[in-house]
Structure 1
Amino acid sequence: MTHYVAIIEDAGPDQAVGVWFPDLPGCFSAGDTLDEALTNAPEAVALWFEDLEGEGRAIPRARTPSELKADPEVSTDMANHVIALIPAPGRALQPAAE
């Protein structure tokens, strides 16, 4: 099963916990707590995939945490925030080739 790295930012008790995916531009989610944000994340990925499928676009390849850590555009976020692996939807969608 394919998993996408999610970056989770907890900005404090008066703000929602945000979740975004470096490999899925524009895909984001949130929740009032870390647990809620993690619960909501798979649905955000599924909806994002539906939109992509509807547009006839290819699914981006999920990079490994090590690959993302080596990416200077992502490494700082990984160092400063919580990360999680979120499963891709269980449909027969194939990632784009490299």
Structure 2
Amino acid sequence: MAAGRTYPYSERQTLEEARSWWMEPPPGKTVVAADDAGTIVGSAKMGPNRPGRGAHVATASFIVDPAHQGKGAGRALGEHVLGWCRAEGFHGT
């Protein structure tokens, strides 16, 4: 994000500002991926794409620390999100 190639948020935002848009409220959720040492290397948030008639379709956002890219964190997050969406009954027609 700091390089400005992904999410369009200010590079000067505070942790509290970032928390308000990244921490997905119920019925959605936010998860992290950690390495073997317990260091957080990535995160994903997921939930309904839109309220009302769009609530049956899920959306998700992902972020992986560039120092840990290519090591499977993004794939693990994606697989977790897809499983969660299926288990929660999201579907598109």
TM-score, length basis structure 2: 0.32
Question: Who wins on radius of gyration, i.e. which is larger?
Answer: 2
By relative contact order (CA 8 Å, sep 6+), the higher-ranking structure is: 1
Structure with bigger helix share is 1
TM-score, length basis structure 1: 0.31
